[in-house]
Structure 1
Amino acid sequence: MPLWQIYHPENAFTDEQKESLAGVITEDNHRFVGIPRFYVNVFFHETKYMYIGGKRTTNFIRITTDTIARAMPTPEIRAQAMAGTEAFLAPFIKERGFDWEIHFDETPRDLWRVQGLIPPESFSDAEKMWLEENRPVPYYDVDPIVPFAG
Structure 2
Amino acid sequence: MPYWEIFTPENAFTDEDKEKLSQRITSFYVDYVNLPPFYVVVLFKDMPSNTMYVGGKANNNFIRIRTDHIARQIDSAEMRAACMEALEERLAPYVKERGFDWEIHIDETPMDLWRVQGLTPPPAESDTEKLWAKENRPVPYEISTP
Displaced runs of 4 or more, over 2 A = none
Q: Which runs of 5+ in 1 are unaligned?
A: 143-150
The correspondence of residues 24-103 of structure 1 with structure 2, limited to 5 A, is 24-48=24-48, 49-103=51-105
> Hey, what's the Cα distance between the residues in 1 that align with 2:60 and 2:15?
19
Shift of 1:28: 1.1
Total equivalences in the alignment: 142
Q: Does 1:2 align with 2:2?
A: yes
Q: Please state whether the residue corresponding to 2:12 is helix, strand or coil.
A: coil
Q: CA deviation at 1:17?
A: 0.4
Amino acid at match of 2:88: E
TM-score by length of 1: 0.93
d(CA) in 2 for partners of 1:126, 1:80: 28
Compared with structure 1, are the counterparts of its residues 50 and 122 closer, same or farther at alpha carbon in structure 2 (3 Å cutoff)?
same
Q: Which amino acid letter does the alignment assign opposite residue 124 of structure 1?
A: S
Q: How does 1:111-130 map to 2 (within 5 A)?
A: 111-130=113-132
Secondary structure at the aligned position of 1:11 is classed as coil
Change (3 A) 1:73 1:135: same
Provide the C-alpha distance between the structure 2 equivalents of 1:93 and 1:63, rounded to a whole number of angstroms. 11
Q: Distance in 1 between matches of 2:133 and 2:19?
A: 21
Structure 2 SS opposite 1:42: strand
C-alpha distance in 2, partners of 1:74/1:141?
A: 29
Offset at residue 141 of structure 1 (A): 6.7
Identity rate, percent: 58
RMSD: 1.0
SS at match of 2:43: strand
- 1:132 corresponds in structure 2 to 134
Q: Which amino acid aligns with 1:80?
A: A
